[in-house]
Amino acid sequence: MKGKKRIIVIGGSAAGPKAAAKARRLDEEAEIVIIQKAPDLSMASCGYPYYVGGFFDDRNLLICTPTGVVRDPKFYLNAKGIVARTETEAVGIDRKAKTVSVKDLKTGKGESLSYDKLILATGSVPKIPPIPGAGLDGITTLQSMQDADYLRRVRDEKTIKKAVIIGGGLIGIETCEALQLAGIEITVIEMLPQLLTFLDWELAKLVENHVRSKNANVITDNGIAEFLGENGKLVGVKLQNGIELPCELAVVAIGVSPNAKLAKEAGLETGLAGGVIVNEYMQTSDPDIYAAGDCVESLNLITGKKVHAPYGDLANLQGRVAGENAAGGNSATFPGTIQTGICKVFDFTAGSTGLSEKAAQAAGFTDIETVINASPDKPGFMTGLLLVTKLVVERKTGRILGAQCVGPGDVSKQLATWAMAIKGKLTVDDMINADLPYAPPFSLAIDHSIAAAHIMQNKLKGRMKGISCSEVKKKLDGGATPFILDARGPDEYEQIRIGVGERLIPIGALRNRLNELPGDKGAEIICYCKISLRGYEAARVLEGRGWTNVKVMEGGIMAWPFPREK
């Protein structure tokens, strides 16, 4: 008679516990063991910045069930019949013997555990730049519970006055907010020309402007050359341009790499990004070994290429698939990712799904169209808040390739809508009449996402010639002198204006003031308003009266990321 199946899971953060729990639900008789190097289990690591920032104070909320029960080894044993061994490190895999060598980190004792099926959920490791002084006290990442504990103590003790965040990605920006809320003077240092590289520059600049408005300093196009210390403690950083900034804390947040050391040493196939290669069943090159979470590479469903996508939701989804297949055979699949991400940035939210314009071009999409839409998430009488969305589509087919959205409005709803559209391979024409829920407390009558599709359709049909704020600024900086028409009212103009030599002609007066426009019907005219709805209407009026080179500045003043006159 065949004995019980033994499933060993290496890694106890997100994918590992999910895989173990799913396997248990499908096989009550299997022997399931989780090997976890850290002292905690099933940590909500995406919640670390919010614990540090004081959004909640109970550390256990990061490791408990929705009903408030801490997920410790006792919980896993009693509630799930799973043996969870914390502070135990897996140090080697013998694929031929089907064993895992483990070491008890408290006692130093080693042993060998046999398996029928093995699931690797070893996660990722933070990237640490090879910079002089990297070992000084006061330099940390925000990768582990211990990191979160350290930064929470920093917040609570209120002894640190100045900190630098190295890296302007998701974790860097979230950590910036957390520490700024603690009253610490923050400088974010990003080597690239922008924050949040999953966004295109013009939207990233809006986010940067918002960060600066919260009294956090931002330095782009620069990096760290050296950590400066005294008596073993951090006292400052030296930038690559030679400037020195005093600080007592540095948080390194320049990204993560797959933690695939065990897999590589065991001879499993890994990819260009360093992650474990898996098929749709989350199965590695060894049919008895599965892998899930940050240690693997996933298929990008748009480009068809393997990517490293270290997202907490994907780790759980992949873990569920790996657990089901390890327990009962290959019946579940994980098809891949479109890389949807979102983050809170003080009073803004920023996120993207699918490909940015920059990423689409890098992936070989040459025939693309983009559009920027600025409008509220719901009516003004329901305190609607601004959203700025950039849509990327394949011009010939109208297929939606990507969407980015930033602003104080409900960005999450917009991204969810576009993520499902991209996953379903919908086109712009599919979206223009999308049947979305509407009531004034929740949405405009024509939802922001549908409006973006309408603008895109107008561009694709040649009804609107769009131009981005960045392109307008580039023209002006290059010495071009287009006629710039502001179609708003005088009161609006007095409250806020960009100050680039624009001419104010309110849309209601435009037909009676056509004599103020260039006599040359081929002259370049750029129209805009607050969000460029009236700018589009002005362009249609002018084209109907014979002007042939009329453009609409997409997103209007609300999408203008540059300094304004007032």
Give burial (CB, 10 Å; 0-12/13-18/19+) of 226: middle
Quick check: 238 and 224 in contact, CB under 8 A? yes
Quick check: 164 and 187 in contact, CB under 8 A? yes
Domains 6-124+257-328 and 139-254 share a fold: yes
Quick check: 301 and 399 in contact, CB under 8 A? no
Cβ atoms < 10 Å from Cβ of 228: 17
Instruction: Find out if CATH 3.50.50.60 is the number for domain 139-254.
Output: yes
Helix (H, G, I), strand (E, B) or coil at 213: helix
Tell which residue, 423, 430, 441, 338, has the closest CA to residue 382. 441
Looking at residue 561, its amino acid is: P
> How far is Cα 95 from Cα 92, in angstroms, rounded to an integer?
10
Quick check: 399 and 429 in contact, CB under 8 A? no
- The two tokens of residue 156 are 């609570």
pLDDT 10s digit of each residue in the chain, 566 long? 357 899 999 999 999 999 999 999 999 999 999 999 999 999 999 999 999 999 999 999 999 999 999 999 999 999 999 999 999 999 999 999 999 999 999 999 999 999 999 999 999 999 998 999 999 999 999 999 999 999 999 999 999 999 999 999 999 999 999 999 999 999 999 999 999 999 999 999 999 999 999 999 999 999 999 999 999 999 999 999 999 999 999 999 999 999 999 999 999 999 999 999 999 999 999 999 999 999 999 999 999 999 999 999 999 999 999 999 999 999 999 999 999 999 999 999 999 999 999 999 999 999 999 999 999 999 999 999 999 999 999 999 999 999 999 999 999 999 999 999 999 999 999 999 999 999 999 999 999 999 999 999 999 999 999 999 999 999 999 999 999 999 999 999 999 999 999 999 999 999 999 999 999 999 999 999 999 999 999 999 999 999 999 999 999 999 999 999 97
Under CATH, what is the fold of the domain 466-559?
Oxidized Rhodanese; domain 1 (3.40.250)
pTM, entire model: 0.95
Neighbouring-strand partners of residue 298: 307
> How far is Cα 552 from Cα 561, in angstroms, rounded to an integer?
16
> How far is Cα 337 from Cα 423, in angstroms, rounded to an integer?
9
Looking at residue 444, its amino acid is: L
CATH number of 347-460: 3.30.390.30
CA-derived radius of gyration, the chain? 27
Superfamily of domain 6-124+257-328: FAD/NAD(P)-binding domain (3.50.50.60)
Q: What is the dihedral of CA 440, 446, 447, 449, to 10 degrees?
A: -170
- 300 vs 131, 227, 321, 334, 335, CA distance in Å? 33, 37, 17, 11, 9
Alpha-carbon torsion (464, 476, 497, 212), positive or negative = positive
What is the enclosing helix (H) or strand (E) of 49?
helix 48-52
Looking at residue 409, its amino acid is: G
Tell which residue, 376, 401, 377, 406, has the closest CA to residue 391. 401
Query: Would you list the domain boundaries of the chain?
Result: 6-124+257-328, 139-254, 347-460, 466-559
> How far is Cα 245 from Cα 164, in angstroms, rounded to an integer?
9
- 305 vs 300, 302, 308, 318, 367, CA distance in Å? 5, 8, 10, 18, 19
Tell which residue, 359, 423, 370, 317, has the closest CA to residue 196. 359
> How far is Cα 339 from Cα 62, in angstroms, rounded to an integer?
24
> Can you list the positions of beta strands (E) in 127-284?
139-140, 162-166, 185-189, 217-219, 224-230, 233-239, 244-246, 249-252, 256-258, 276-277
- 281 vs 159, 308, 340, 472, 553, CA distance in Å? 50, 17, 21, 48, 47
